[in-house]
Amino acid sequence: MDITFDHVSYVYQPNSPFEHRALNDLSFSVKSGSFVAVIGHTGSGKSTLIQHLNGLLQPTEGKVQIGDYVLEAEGKNKRLRDLRESVGVVFQYPEHQLFEETVAKDIAFGPQNFGVENKEIEKRTREAVKATGLPEDLLNRSPFDLSGGQMRRVAISGVLAMNPKVLVLDEPTAGLDPSGQKEIMSMFSRLHREKGLTTILVTHSMEDALAYADHIIIMNHGELYSEGTPLEIFQQQKALEDVQLDIPEVIAFISEVRKRLNIDLEYKGQTIAELAKELAHKVRGGGDHE
């Protein structure tokens, strides 16, 4: 689903002493099937932005369009139920939202609320646990008897069981160890490709933005600061520093190699270890450099 923000502003508690303009004249577009990372320091407007994607918030000014769903300032926006069926949101620590007595019931809760038939719910439930790597023998267990990582996958399965066309990920690796972070992000990347999703990732990890996104949006004080491909964005070190953002370690490594050794390494998704091997090969005379 294509997504467009058209001169969108959002004001919390308007006409009060606590009025705060969280988004200001924000315009951008996301193509259907894209994997977009939204980054920015705390208070930049990221969370307010993504809450517009399923109608939790509606613009104070401007218009948001997700597919053929339109949210407008002062509009009635009657199709919120349909929109929320199409846009799945994985919030930070989604496992905190589990509450049913079994894993199967928790995953089925969303589809049941939207009137999906029982046979279809069973089918979606099994597909969702398979997609998230959970064994089916956990379906009849209490989600609260599972490990933290398994609980998170149950919560994600509940979102996937809605068959969303847009998947919004709000810091989905929060609280996980490095191994767990990599597993979860690899899973989302695979789901994005296999299901043809439009994926919006809010993250503080520059490494994840570089590794998984095909487009990056940088927010600053509620406004669009910059956007472009990961390589375009992360080659602008000074611009990132101006909004308190770092460049990924692998890009910093390439930059240092160019500066100190006058050797160009091309980033193609390699790890630092893989780039170090390429560098050693070039230094030994296995490749041309300036």
Print pLDDT tens along the chain (290 aa): 999 999 999 999 999 999 999 999 999 999 999 999 999 999 999 999 999 999 999 999 999 999 999 999 877 777 888 999 999 999 988 999 899 999 999 999 999 999 999 999 999 999 999 999 999 999 999 999 999 889 999 999 999 999 999 999 999 999 889 899 999 999 999 999 999 999 999 999 999 999 999 999 999 999 999 999 999 999 899 999 999 999 999 999 999 998 898 998 888 888 889 999 999 988 887 655 44
Q: What is the pLDDT of residue 79?
A: 83
Write the DSSP assignment of 104-138 as a string of letters: HHHHHHHHHHTT--HHHHHHHHHHHHHHTT--GGG
Q: What is the pLDDT of residue 289?
A: 46
- Identity of residue 140: N
Q: What is the pLDDT of residue 290?
A: 45
Report yes or no: 105 and 93 within 8 Å, Cβ to Cβ.
no
Query: Whats the size of the chain, residue-wise?
Result: 290
- Relative to beta strand 166-170, strand 198-202 is parallel
Task: Return the half-sphere exposure (C-beta side, CA atoms, 13 A cut-off) of residue 225.
Answer: 23
Report yes or no: 263 and 279 within 8 Å, Cβ to Cβ.
yes
Distance CA 282, CA 270 (A): 16
The tokens for 246 are 């770092």
Q: Edge to edge, what strands does the sheet with 20-30 contain?
A: 20-30, 3-12, 61-66, 69-72
Q: What is the pLDDT of residue 226?
A: 96
- Give pTM, 2 decimals: 0.90
3-class SS at 50?
helix
Taking only the tens place, the pLDDT of each residue in 187-221 is 999 999 999 999 999 999 999 999 999 999 999 99
Q: Please give the class, per CATH, of domain 3-247.
A: alpha beta
Q: Which residues, 6+ apart, have CB-to-CB distance to 85 below 8 Å?
A: 114, 162, 164
Sketch the domain layout of the chain as residue ranges. 3-247, 248-290
